[in-house]
Each structure stands twice: as structure tokens, then as C-alpha cells.
DNA sequence: CCCCTATCCTGAGGGC
DNA sequence: TGCCCTCAGGATAGGG
């Protein structure tokens, strides 16, 4: 469900409710876990105090004292809420982390594509190391490395944006949005794009994600924040889920295509391909 | 290696 | 009302 801005919204919502809380009991739904060892591992958390919450890309983690961290991926439909223990349980509640103050953190995930993993700090760091720079925290010195990797790739730029090992936190909504802002054709290959154009794309990614964070995320289908409220960013999108609606720049109707099984939305006039542009067969970088 | 496809799941919505 | 189909903010093993 969530991309970087949505995960960060949730992290900010729940962190003040969790820091310094003592975990009194862990409850898990066995259906959610593949092995019994994973379930029993969570018992180690009982009695531990929560130290802080962190995030990189779409990966969220809870650090406790000692060497235990919980790594959380929300997948397509995962949600996190801090509620009173006595509050009625929603269907598909898979994890409850109860605290001494009579509240509990609940993880709800109908499709079960999310994950909830107890790990050491070392293991957490190696998971973070698999991810590329995050637009909320990257430095300009990261750009050269990111752009170099993109220009080595034969894949479409849309698919590259979804690759978490290159840029962390961009998902299907903000990939389309960033390409629109940077005026890049989604099927253009990474190796066909100039450094100048890719710099614009990185800036555009940062811009659309910052806007989304300011509006507490995009509620397209099921996403809600840590309080169970929908985010306001849907009305600030340019192209995502706007098939056959006029482009804000040129009024051309927005197109929808499928790339690697996932929908991409773009303006075929504002985001023209290299092939369409150079009819003589020469391949100037755009 | 690199890249694409199928797959893991439930639920909402449309057509008939 | 129900049945069947498609689609959905993600990640990844495995095959070509």
C-alpha cells in the first residue's frame, strides 16, 4: 500500500506513542508466519523497552534496548495502529505488541504481502545496505552514483525507479509522477538518458515525494496513516490513476500502459520517447 | 550477470 | 443476489 511518504507519515504518527514503552506481551496470528521459530522468536521482546523507530525507503524498524530490532514491510495492504487493548480487533490483525500502559501496536494486513521480522542490529544494517539512497535523505554526492547505475541499465526508466536497490522508497504512484514532472517517457531505457535529464528526474522524485509527505500520503485504495485517517495527496497527483483525464500542461488525455505487469500513467505529448523524437534514426540523448 | 514472469493473498468493483 | 473476471501503493525466487 505504501511508498516512502506513506511509511514516513506512519512512522511519525506512532513513534511518540511507542518510545520508552515497555513491551508486556506479544500476540501473533500463526497464519501470518511460515515457521514456528519466527513466532517463538518474538517472545524475546517481552520485557524489553522500545528505544526508537527508523525508516529507509519502504523499510520501517523498531529498535529496542539490547540487540533486538523489528523490521517491518507493509507490502500492499499493511497497516500499523496504536490502540487501546480493549478496542475491538479488526479482521486480518496478525500481530499485537502490548505495552504496560494498556495500549498495543497492531499490524493489520489483509493480503499478507507484508513482513514482520525480529532481527539483530547487524541483520537490520545489512537489510538497509541492500537499499539505494532515499530521496528524503540523499545528498547531492549520491546523484553521481545513482545516475551512473541508471545509465548502465537496459531496463525501462519506470522499472529502474521501482528498483529499491537503486533508489529506496519510490513505488508505483511516485514513479509515474516523477517521470511526468521530469517529462520523461516511461519506456525510455536508462542507458538512453542524459545526465542532465536524470538529474531532473531525481529532483522530480524528491519533489513529488516531499509534496506527498506534506499531505500525509496518497490514499488510493486502502492506505491510512497511524491514526487510521486517509492522506490528502491524491488530489495533488498529476497522472497516476488519471486515465483519459486532461494533462494539466497540454490537455492531452492521460494514457495508461502496463510495464512488467504494473500500471504506468503518462502524458504522451509531454513525455515523448527518444524514438518518436528522432525520425532520422540518430540517437541523440534526450 | 541482467531482466522478466509468475507468485504470494484478500477484497472491491464491474459485467452479466 | 451471485458468479466470474480484473485489478490493486510490493518483493522476490527462478528461468530464459
A223 Cβ within 7 A of any nucleic strand C atom: yes
Check: CB of residue A269 under 8 Å from CB of residue A239.
no
Q: Distance between CA atoms of A46 and A33, rounded to whole angstroms? A: 19
Distance A136 CA to B1 C1' (A): 31
Amino acid A28: pLDDT: 95
Strands across the sheet with A23-28, in order? A23-28, A93-99, A103-108, A79-84
| Strand B bases with any atom < 7 A from protein Cβ | 2-11
Q: Does some domain include residue A202?
A: yes
Largest CA distance in chain A: 71
Same domain, A76 and A193: no
Same domain, A10 and A56: yes
Same domain, A271 and A144: yes
Q: Distance between CA atoms of A142 and A251, rounded to whole angstroms? A: 36
Distance A261 CA to B4 C1' (A): 10
Distance A110 CA to C1 C1' (A): 25
- Residue A262 bears catalytic tag: yes
Q: Which of A92, A110, A129 is the last residue of a domain?
A: A129
Q: What is the CATH number of the domain that holds A144?
A: 1.10.8.50
Q: Distance between CA atoms of A215 and A236, rounded to whole angstroms? A: 9
Nucleic strand C contact set for A 132-171 (CB, < 7 Å)? 162, 164, 171
Q: Distance between CA atoms of A131 and A230, rounded to whole angstroms? A: 28
* Protein residue minimizing CA–C1' distance to B7: A113
Structural domain count, chain A: 2
Cβ neighbours of A38 (radius 10 Å): 16
Q: Does some domain include residue A154?
A: yes
Same domain, A86 and A63: yes
Mean pLDDT of chain A: 93
Amino acid A223: pLDDT: 83
Nucleic strand C contact set for A 68-107 (CB, < 7 Å)? 73, 75-76
Distance A265 CA to C8 C1' (A): 15
Cβ neighbours of A20 (radius 10 Å): 11
Amino acid A19: pLDDT: 97
pTM recorded for the entire structure: 0.95
A111 Cβ within 7 A of any nucleic strand B atom: yes
Q: Distance between CA atoms of A69 and A59, rounded to whole angstroms? A: 12
Check: CB of residue A38 under 8 Å from CB of residue A44.
no
pLDDT digits (tens, 9 = 90+) for A88-106: 999 999 999 999 999 999 9
Q: Which of A79, A96, A129 is the last residue of a domain?
A: A129
Distance A149 CA to C8 C1' (A): 30
Q: Does some domain include residue A285?
A: no
Q: Distance between CA atoms of A43 and A54, rounded to whole angstroms? A: 22
Amino acid A280: pLDDT: 42
Same domain, A22 and A117: yes
* Protein residue minimizing CA–C1' distance to B6: A261
Indicate the SS3 state at residue A219.
coil
Same domain, A107 and A173: no
Q: What is the CATH number of the domain that holds A95?
A: 3.20.190.10
Q: Distance between CA atoms of A210 and A217, rounded to whole angstroms? A: 10
The catalytic residue among A112, A262, A268, A269 is A262
Q: Does some domain include residue A134?
A: no
Nucleic strand C contact set for A 244-283 (CB, < 7 Å)? 261-263
The catalytic residue among A3, A104, A187, A192 is A3
Amino acid A38: pLDDT: 86
Same domain, A271 and A154: yes
Cβ neighbours of A24 (radius 10 Å): 15
Same domain, A163 and A56: no
Nucleic strand B contact set for A 69-88 (CB, < 7 Å)? 77
Same domain, A60 and A166: no
The catalytic residue among A11, A55, A58, A242 is A58
Residue numbers of the domain that contains A258: 140-279
Q: What is the dihedral of CA A230, A235, A241, A242, to 10 degrees?
A: 160
Q: Distance between CA atoms of A92 and A266, rounded to whole angstroms? A: 35
Question: Which pLDDT tens digits describe chain A residue by residue (286 residues)?
Answer: 699 999 999 999 999 999 999 999 999 999 999 888 888 989 889 999 999 999 999 999 999 988 999 999 999 999 999 999 999 999 999 999 999 999 999 999 999 999 999 999 999 999 999 999 999 999 989 999 999 999 999 999 999 999 999 999 999 999 999 999 999 999 999 999 999 999 999 999 999 999 999 999 999 887 888 899 889 999 999 999 999 999 999 999 999 999 999 999 999 999 999 864 444 444 445 5
Amino acid at each position: 500500500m505504501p511508498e516512502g511518504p506513506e511509511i514516513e507519515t506512519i512512522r511519525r504518527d506512532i513513534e511518540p506513542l511507542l518510545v520508552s514503552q515497555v513491551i508486556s506481551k506479544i500476540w501473533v496470528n500463526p497464519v501470518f508466519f511460515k515457521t514456528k521459530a519466527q513466532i517463538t522468536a518474538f517472545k524475546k521482546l517481552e520485557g524489553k523497552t522500545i528505544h526508537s523507530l527508523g525508516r529507509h525507503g519502504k523499510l520501517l524498524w523498531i529498535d529496542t534496548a539490547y540487540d533486538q530490532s523489528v523490521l517491518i514491510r507493509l507490502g500492499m495492504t499493511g497497516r500499523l495502529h496504536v490502540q487501546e487493548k480493549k478496542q475491538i480487533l479488526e479482521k486480518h490483525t496478525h500481530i499485537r505488541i502490548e505495552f504496560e500502559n494498556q495500549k498495543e501496536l497492531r499490524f493489520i494486513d489483509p493480503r499478507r504481502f507484508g513482513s514482520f521480522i525480529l532481527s539483530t542490529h547487524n541483520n537490520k544494517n545489512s537489510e538497509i545496505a541492500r537499499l539505494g539512497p532515499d530521496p528524503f535523505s540523499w545528498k547531492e554526492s549520491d546523484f553521481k552514483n545513482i545516475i551512473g547505475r541508471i545509465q548502465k541499465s537496459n531496463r525501462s526508466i519506470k522499472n529502474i525507479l521501482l528498483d529499491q536497490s537503486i533508489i529506496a522508497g519510490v513505488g508505483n504512484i511516485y514513479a509515474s509522477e516523477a517521470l511526468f514532472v521530469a517529462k520523461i517517457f516511461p519506456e525510455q531505457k536508462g542507458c538512453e538518458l542524459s545526465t542532465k535529464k536524470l538529474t531532473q528526474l531525481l529532483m522530480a522524485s524528491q519533489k513529488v515525494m516531499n509534496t506527498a509527505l506534506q499531505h500525509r500520503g496518497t490514499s488510493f485504495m486502502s492506505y491510512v496513516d497511524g491514526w487510521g485517517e486517509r492522506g490528502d495527496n491524491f488530489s495533488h497527483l498529476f497522472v497516476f490513476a488519471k486515465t483519459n483525464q486532461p494533462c494539466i500542461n497540454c490537455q492531452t488525455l492521460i494514457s495508461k500502459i502496463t510495464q512488467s505487469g504494473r500500471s504506468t500513467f503518462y502524458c504522451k505529448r509531454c513525455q515523448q520517447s527518444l524514438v518518436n523524437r528522432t525520425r532520422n534514426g540518430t540517437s541523440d540523448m534526450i
